[in-house]
């Protein structure tokens, strides 16, 4: 192979490594952003479940004061936890709450969770 022929072949490949490196960099950035998005979704889900669990327990504790007071307590605690109470229902001695958490901007990632608190066993018919 002569020098002129070798030179013309390498001149045709000039910039191929730069294009490959740019594509590789774009792929790495896309995977990293996907990982950040997935991590945010997991964090939002855990925050929502924690807020729901604590709000349900707080409401169950205040249930003797009445369902309205219990649900107000659940809403107050959910707000303190950075969540919003979407629903609160009381059925006999069980309190069920549904909360939502938004991560990022107001139109960001939304995660919701439901929790129930109450006695482990149903009381006998004459005890309620």
Provide the terminal-to-terminal Cα distance of the chain, rounded to the nearest Å: 98
* Residue partners of 56: CB distance under 8 A and separation at least 6: 74, 95, 96, 97, 115, 116, 117
Q: What is the pLDDT of residue 110?
A: 84
> Are 122 and 108 spatial neighbours (Cβ–Cβ below 8 Å)?
no
Element (H, E) at 123: none
Whether the pLDDT of residue 7 is over 70: the answer is no
Residue 15 pLDDT class (50, 70, 90 cuts): confident
Q: Cα–Cα distance between 49 and 23 in angstroms, integer? A: 39
pTM above 0.85, yes or no: no
3-state secondary structure of 91: strand
Taken in order 51, 47, 88, 73, the sign of the CA dihedral is positive
Sheet with 94-103: list strands edge to edge: 84-91, 94-103, 109-117
Residue 59 pLDDT class (50, 70, 90 cuts): very high
């Amino acid at each position: 192979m002569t020098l002129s022929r070798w030179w013309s072949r390498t001149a045709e490949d000039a910039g191929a490594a730069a294009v490959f490196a740019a594509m590789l960099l774009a792929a790495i950035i896309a995977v990293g952003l996907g990982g950040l998005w997935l991590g945010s979704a997991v964090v939002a889900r855990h925050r929502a479940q924690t807020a729901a669990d604590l709000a349900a327990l707080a409401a169950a504790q205040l249930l003797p004061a009445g369902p309205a007071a219990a649900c107000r307590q659940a809403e107050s605690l959910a707000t303190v936890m950075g969540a919003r109470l979407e629903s609160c229902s009381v059925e006999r001695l069980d309190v069920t709450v549904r909360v939502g958490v938004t991560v990022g901007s107001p139109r960001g990632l939304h995660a919701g969770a439901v929790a129930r608190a109450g006695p482990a066993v149903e009381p006998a018919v004459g005890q309620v």
